[in-house]
Amino acid sequence: MAVEESVRSILSSEFGLDSSSLETDAAIFSAGLLDSLNSLRLLMMLESQFGLSISPLDVSLDDVDSISKITETVNRLKD
């Protein structure tokens, strides 16, 4: 839950998404809430927040298209 809360916080504070009302599985990029250009900033925020190393060359839409997917991706990379 801590990761999901942090992800929601990043989406809210950095991208202005009203993430408190965003369903966990709701599409973010494919629904147009963020565009692919925002993905890089999101990855940098995740790297900084969770101490990860993420190459944009290894991240697909399926890894970041919802809060639950971003959370899963972060948890996978943390392991």
Partner 1 sequence: MKDNTSRLVLGSLLRRPNKPVLGDDTVCLDRSSLFENVRLQANLFLQSGLRPDDFVVLMCDRGLAFWSELLAAWVLGAKPICVEKNISDEHAASVVQMTSVSKIIGADETTTPEFKALERLPSSFDPNAEAGDLQSCFRDLPFVDDSELPDLAGLIFTSGTTGLPKGVPLTHRALNLNALSTAQRLQLRDSDRLLIATPFRFISSISHFLVTLLSGAAFFGVERTLMIKDLIDILNDRDISAFGGSPFHMQFIAMAGEHRLPKLRWAMSSGDHLRREVIEKLAGNFSNLELHVVYGMAELGGRFCELPPQYLSNKAGSVGFPINGFEITIRRDDGTTCDVGEVGNIYVSGQIGFEGYFRNTKANQKVLSSVGFLNGDMGYVDDEGFVFLSGRSDSVFKRSGLKVSAQIIADALMNLDEIHDVFCTSEENDFEGRVPVAYISWKNESEMDSGEISRTLRRFIPVNHIPARYVSLPEIPRTGSGKVDRRRLASLIEATKGSSKAEG
CA proximity to 66, closest of 29, 35, 17, 38: 29
Select 14 or 25, whichever has its Cβ closest to partner 1.
14
Which stretches of the chain bind partner 1, using CB under 8 A? 12-18, 29-30, 32-41, 56-61, 63-64
Residues 37, 76: Cα–Cα separation, whole Å? 23
Question: Smallest distance from the beta carbon of 15 to partner 1, in angstroms?
Answer: 6
Question: Smallest distance from the beta carbon of 31 to partner 1, in angstroms?
Answer: 9
Select 38 or 49, whichever has its Cβ closest to partner 1.
38
Select 5 or 16, whichever has its Cβ closest to partner 1.
16
State the number of CA atoms in the 13 A half-sphere of 59 facing the CB: 24
State the number of CA atoms in the 13 A half-sphere of 57 facing the CB: 0
